[in-house]
Amino acid sequence: MPVVDVTVEVCGMAGDGTIAAGGLINEAMSDGGFSVLAFDSYPAEIRGFGRCVTRSRIGNEEIVALEDKTHVLISLNDEQARSRVPFLSENSMIFFDSNPAVYVREDKSLVSELDPETILFGMPFNDIATASAGTTRGRNLTALGCFAAICGAPHDLFRGVIIRKFKSKGEKVLQTNLRSFDAGFDYALEHFSNRIKSIFLIPDKVGGPKKVLLSGNQAIGKAAIDAGLKLYFGYPITPATPIMEYLATHLPALGGRVIQMEDEIASIGAVLGSFYAGTRAMTATSGPGFALMTELITHGVMAEIPAVIINAQRGGPSTGLPTKTEQSDLHAAVFGGPGDSPRIVIAPTNVAECYHYTVKSFQLAEKYQTPVILLADFYLDNRVENLPMPEASESEKSGSNVLPENSLKGSYRRYEITESGISPRALPGMEGFIFSATGLEHTQTGVPDYSPENHMLMTEKRHRKITGALGDLPSPEEFSSGGKLDVGVIGWGSTFGSILEAVTSARNRGLRVGGLKITSIFPFHESVIRAFMNRCSEILIPELNYAGQLANLIGYIHSKDVVRLNRVTGTPFPPSAILEKIEYLVQVGDE
Amino acid sequence: MAQEHCVIIGNGPAANQAALTLRENSSDARITIVGQEPFPHYRPHLLPEYIAGRLSQEDLCVNTPAFYKECGIKVRLGQKVVHVDFNKRELVLDHKEVISFGGLIIACGGKQRIPEHLQVFDDLMLTLKTPADAAQWIEQLSQVDSVLIVGGDLTSLSLTKALLSLEKRVIFMLNEDSFWPVPLCNELSEKIKHMLTERGVEVIKAGRIKRVTRVSDRSIEVETDNKTLRVGILGAFFGMTPNVKFLARSGLDIERGVLVDEYLQTRFDLVYAAGDCAQVYHPTIKDYWVSIGYQNAINLGKIAGLNLLGGMLSVDASPESIFFVDGIIVNTSWWTEF
């Protein structure tokens, strides 16, 4: 079977059905047995204007990142799609409406921008949709039909997905969409019969476990439910809101509750209260909401109360770029808030890790009695991957509260100094124990005490506890052939997929390059990172923030300055930019 | 003019030569080629070699896309001009895009000519003008072993050679439509028959085709005045006619092609026509003539480009090289080239 690695893009104006069309492509291709990694970008405004773009990378091998270039562009609005032209690959295919409602001048035309190698498929989307279904509302499905026919995707594959998606909306809606799709499919076969490309040849038998399409946010929501989440408190904010939506759909039926609070301060307060009472709870927010939470997060640190907080990063500062991706909350997650307030920060790099690290966050929070921050980002939250349905074992999901022994009744000290820093925590209602929670510095029994000796003692305890959590945190994962490396690339979060793609390309070109994935942002595995750095002539750290926040955090470990590669474009890190930097560093090193 | 937008309709030899001439003589001009076919400028006379497998599709190309980029010539392929408004100096593409121009060269070439009585069998006949046509030939030749060629022109002779090299059985049907617009007198007919027979081609004189029927995926039945034949492919080669229907309501003077003076200018300022689509006025014979052939097209493209920039070059065609056929005056050089 030929190698398939195609990036398909749908671009339109908000309201054109762009995201819906992209979603159908993802589902159909996933059903067909292909690997899919997709990412949507849309305007911050609710509806009516602004550019929507879905990008789907489809292949028959594992996909870890979006590709820089687009091979197929389906334009539902040419004026918007013009901005995508620089990202087109050579010999790309363009599907566009050949009979728009009004005449378009050259300087506003999509087609006028294209290279001559571009393969054009102009079809009257509106006319076809209207003739088949009596309305232009299905023109996105018509475009999809043309795309499916030209690319050689089976007709029934898409029809099955359309039926699955629209059957709950009633027969009329379903038939409108099916007819619009069929009409586009038939039109393409009739008018472009000699230009059919058999790109998406569906394998007869799909091997391996059945895959499902899951976004990072859906994976987080599912993980929370699997981990026994009982209460979700939140305030809507892009890009974290889909987590609340997912939980609102699924959690009540399982006996849990989703409560929209008045703001993020109330949300984190309720999460702390819930965990204080021994019930698993969670909140999810983004940068501006996280900023509001920081005081209470440090309350959790001081009072040693568990909490699970999802920070779905977006472009900042302040309200910033609500629907753009960025990795600029690392400092805020690790250091945000008053005082020395160590907490656990984990950053997944793909959808599967969104699931597993969310599950893990609950155990870590309970065991180490501290807020755990899962640092995702827009690209990871909104990204869709198809993967075997992630599941957690019973032991991964089980409670991990460190409860006091019965023998301690009467002599129990809530903040007892221990070697690990972990003090057994009594839950309200446990007979014979006292229950203390205070944001003031306190003694081992929980009595306020501001003496220098006590503050030193308790601060050390809290730091010792968090450092000790390293043993339960995922160690950095290396991707190299071992030995000395000319360039070592270290990354975190959603950018690591792009790093892995670039490192793999560099290695395929014979370069001595390796990648190191760091998911435990704080505490971090200093010795493992040092060992890797010591084997590398140059350390490159690409990040989607301006200053290089991970580089600031771990750069001191390296014997010389690490090389930073920073972008704040609001878009995923292009693998080509990382590869280019790797090649430059190798070349400079050789000279 | 030198700094205005010069648009060339067409992507054949005349169009490309016009564009290159404009670029060579005007570094500031914005130049756009609009071609209806999705293929880059290619050498159509090499298509039979491509079918024979002796050339790749890349070998057919005259210049790479990168070359045009370097030259600053925008090439728009697969885009059809459907109307030209010479008053507004705008042309409209089939996807409703409006392009303004300062100067225009119409070099849209010709299209395959199919005699009227055969047009009903259009979908059962193969022609050969474009790489897409060639792809069809290649696909169908892989399944059949015989080809009937009707009509006859330069391309058909080259294709015949290619088919023979592929060990296909070739039947060549000579009748009054053959080698249009050249009058097929007995002497010429015998000469062609002799030449083809020597090379292993079966030449038949079978009158006019009356009926064509697809018998199976690999077989077509052709009924003529006096014969019924079964072959794998029916190839139609009746020369070209100017492809100017889209200009019918534009106000241009059109007979078969676009009527231009000896400087290739139309009745509109800064609008020229060149190549197979033009009918060129000859001041000596005081009539219009049609140029056919790759090299002639290049020559005309160059003249059109230079004159658009203010030159006054006239087309050099001696009256002796032009003759009358079927009401049209044809430049014979394409024939003598063969």
- The verdict on domain A5-195 having CATH code 1.10.10.10 is no
**Which pLDDT tens digit goes with each residue over B75-100?**
999 999 999 999 999 999 999 999 99
| A303 three-state secondary structure | helix
Q: Are strands A281-285 and A257-260 parallel, antiparallel or unpaired?
A: unpaired
Q: Which residue of B has its CA nearest to A112?
A: B76
Tell me the pTM. Answer: 0.88
CB A52 within 8 A of CB A79: no
- To the nearest whole Å, the CA of B90 is away from the closest chain A CA by 10
Say yes or no: B57 contacts chain A, CB-CB below 8 A. no
Residues from chain B contacting residue A98 (CB–CB below 8 Å): 94-96
Using the Cα atoms of residue A272, residue A276, residue A279 and residue A280 in order, give the sign of their dihedral.
positive
- To the nearest whole Å, the CA of B201 is away from the closest chain A CA by 30
- To the nearest whole Å, the CA of A106 is away from the closest chain B CA by 5
Q: Are strands A371-377 and A119-123 parallel, antiparallel or unpaired?
A: unpaired
**Which pLDDT tens digit goes with each residue over B38-74?**
889 999 889 999 999 999 989 999 998 899 999 999 9
For the segment B14-25, the average pLDDT, to the nearest whole number, is: 96
Angle between helices A241-250 and A216-226 (to 10 degrees): 40
Does A104 contact B98 at a Cβ distance shorter than 8 Å?
Answer: yes
Say yes or no: A109 contacts chain B, CB-CB below 8 A. yes
CB A76 within 8 A of CB A17: yes
Residue B338 pLDDT class (50, 70, 90 cuts): very low
Map tokens 């308790």 to a residue: A458
- Does residue B335 surpass a pLDDT of 60? no
Residues from chain B contacting residue A115 (CB–CB below 8 Å): 65
Residue B200's region, left for phi above 0, alpha for psi from -120 to 50, else beta, is: left
Q: Which residue of B has its CA nearest to A109?
A: B97
- Does residue A257 surpass a pLDDT of 80? yes
**Which pLDDT tens digit goes with each residue over A77-105?**
999 999 999 999 999 999 999 999 999 99
The span from the CA of A529 to the CA of A497, in Å, is: 19
Does B95 contact A116 at a Cβ distance shorter than 8 Å?
Answer: no
Equal CATH topology for A5-195 and A213-397: no
- Does residue B111 surpass a pLDDT of 60? yes
- To the nearest whole Å, the CA of B183 is away from the closest chain A CA by 36
Map tokens 């892995």 to a residue: A500
A132-136, B112-116, B188-192, range with the lowest pLDDT:
B188-192
A513-517, A581-585, B120-124, B154-158, range with the lowest pLDDT:
B154-158
CB B224 within 8 A of CB B206: yes
Structure tokens at A493: 């979060």
Residues from chain A contacting residue B93 (CB–CB below 8 Å): 111
Give the pLDDT confidence score for residue A346 in this predicted structure. 98
For the segment A315-326, the average pLDDT, to the nearest whole number, is: 94
**Which pLDDT tens digit goes with each residue over A138-151?**
999 999 999 999 99
Say yes or no: B65 contacts chain A, CB-CB below 8 A. yes
- The verdict on domain A477-590 having CATH code 3.40.50.920 is yes
Residues from chain B contacting residue A102 (CB–CB below 8 Å): 96
**Which chain B residues in 150-169 lie under 8 Å from chain A, judged by CB atoms?**
none
Distances (CA, A) of A364 to A387, A401, A404: 25, 9, 17
Give the pLDDT confidence score for residue B241 in this predicted structure. 82
Which helix (H) or strand (E) element contains residue A39? strand A35-41
CB A360 within 8 A of CB A291: no
Give the pLDDT confidence score for residue A477 in this predicted structure. 98
The span from the CA of B160 to the CA of B169, in Å, is: 10
The span from the CA of A141 to the CA of A18, in Å, is: 10
Does A109 contact B92 at a Cβ distance shorter than 8 Å?
Answer: no
Per-residue HEC secondary structure of A99-137 comes to CCCCCEEHHHCCHHHCCCCCEEEEECHHHHHHHHHCCHH
Distances (CA, A) of A149 to A152, A251, A434, A520, A548: 5, 40, 70, 46, 45
Q: Where are the domains of chain B?
A: 5-111+241-337, 114-238
| Cβ partners under 8 Å of residue A501, min gap 6 | A64, A65, A67, A575, A578
The span from the CA of B276 to the CA of B289, in Å, is: 10
- To the nearest whole Å, the CA of A120 is away from the closest chain B CA by 7
The one-letter amino acid code at B22 reads: L
Q: Select from B97, B101, B133 the residue whose CB has the most chain A CBs within 10 Å, as the one to mutate to test that interface.
A: B97
DSSP characters over B243-309 = --GGGTTTT--BSSSEEE-TT-B-SSTTEEE-GGGEEEEETTTTEEEE--SHHHHHHHHHHHHHHHT
Nearest to A103 among B75, B79, B98 (CB): B98
- To the nearest whole Å, the CA of B123 is away from the closest chain A CA by 14
Say yes or no: B299 contacts chain A, CB-CB below 8 A. no
CA torsion, ordered A145, A150, A152, A158, to nearest 10 deg: -10
Q: Dihedrals φ, ψ of A315, to 5°? A: -65, 135
- Does residue B333 surpass a pLDDT of 50? no
pLDDT over 90 percentage in chain B: 62
pLDDT over 70 percentage in chain A: 98
Strands of B328-331's sheet in order across: B258-260, B278-282, B287-290, B328-331, B322-325
Does B76 contact A112 at a Cβ distance shorter than 8 Å?
Answer: yes
Does B94 contact A119 at a Cβ distance shorter than 8 Å?
Answer: no
- To the nearest whole Å, the CA of B290 is away from the closest chain A CA by 30
Q: Select from A82, A104, A109 the residue whose CB has the most chain B CBs within 10 Å, as the one to mutate to test that interface.
A: A109
Give the pLDDT confidence score for residue B119 in this predicted structure. 92
- To the nearest whole Å, the CA of B215 is away from the closest chain A CA by 22
Structure tokens at A538: 């140059």
Does B68 contact A116 at a Cβ distance shorter than 8 Å?
Answer: yes
Does A120 contact B79 at a Cβ distance shorter than 8 Å?
Answer: yes
Q: Match domain B5-111+241-337 to its CATH number in 1.10.1670.40, 3.40.50.150, 3.50.50.60, 3.30.950.10.
A: 3.50.50.60
| Cβ partners under 8 Å of residue A136, min gap 6 | A125, A126, A129, A130
The one-letter amino acid code at B128 reads: L
Residues from chain B contacting residue A103 (CB–CB below 8 Å): 92, 96-98
Does B136 contact A194 at a Cβ distance shorter than 8 Å?
Answer: yes
Say yes or no: A111 contacts chain B, CB-CB below 8 A. yes
Does A122 contact B94 at a Cβ distance shorter than 8 Å?
Answer: yes
- To the nearest whole Å, the CA of B109 is away from the closest chain A CA by 19
- To the nearest whole Å, the CA of B97 is away from the closest chain A CA by 5
**Which pLDDT tens digit goes with each residue over A448-473?**
999 999 999 999 999 999 999 999 99
DSSP characters over A436-459 = ---SS-B-TTS-B---HHHHHHHH
Does B95 contact A97 at a Cβ distance shorter than 8 Å?
Answer: yes
Structure tokens at A174: 């379903």
Residue B334 pLDDT class (50, 70, 90 cuts): very low
Give which of A95, A89, A96 is closest to A115, Cα–Cα.
A89
Q: Match domain A213-397 to its CATH number in 3.40.50.2300, 3.40.109.10, 3.40.50.970, 3.20.20.60.
A: 3.40.50.970
Nearest to B96 among A104, A114, A119 (CB): A104
Query: Domain B114-238 is classified in which CATH homologous superfamily?
Result: FAD/NAD(P)-binding domain (3.50.50.60)
Say yes or no: A527 contacts chain B, CB-CB below 8 A. no
- Does residue A372 surpass a pLDDT of 80? yes
- To the nearest whole Å, the CA of B283 is away from the closest chain A CA by 39
Q: Which residue of B has its CA nearest to A123?
A: B95
Q: Select from B76, B80, B82, B88 the residue whose CB has the most chain A CBs within 10 Å, as the one to mutate to test that interface.
A: B76
Give the pLDDT confidence score for residue A529 in this predicted structure. 98
**Which chain B residues in 199-258 lie under 8 Å from chain A, judged by CB atoms?**
none
Residue A561 pLDDT class (50, 70, 90 cuts): very high
Say yes or no: B76 contacts chain A, CB-CB below 8 A. yes
Nearest to B38 among A109, A112, A119 (CB): A119
Residues from chain A contacting residue B65 (CB–CB below 8 Å): 115-117
Rounded to the nearest angstrom, the gap between the alpha carbon of residue A557 and the centroid of all alpha carbons in its chain is 28
- To the nearest whole Å, the CA of A136 is away from the closest chain B CA by 18
Using the Cα atoms of residue B291, residue B293, residue B295 and residue B301 in order, give the sign of their dihedral.
positive
The span from the CA of A357 to the CA of A322, in Å, is: 24
The one-letter amino acid code at A422 reads: I
Q: Where are the domains of chain A?
A: 5-195, 213-397, 477-590
Say yes or no: B95 contacts chain A, CB-CB below 8 A. yes
Q: Which residue of B has its CA nearest to A106?
A: B99
Residues from chain A contacting residue B100 (CB–CB below 8 Å): 105-106
Angle between helices A139-150 and A18-31 (to 10 degrees): 40
The span from the CA of A455 to the CA of A458, in Å, is: 5
Residues shown for chain A: 591
Nearest to A122 among B75, B95, B98 (CB): B95
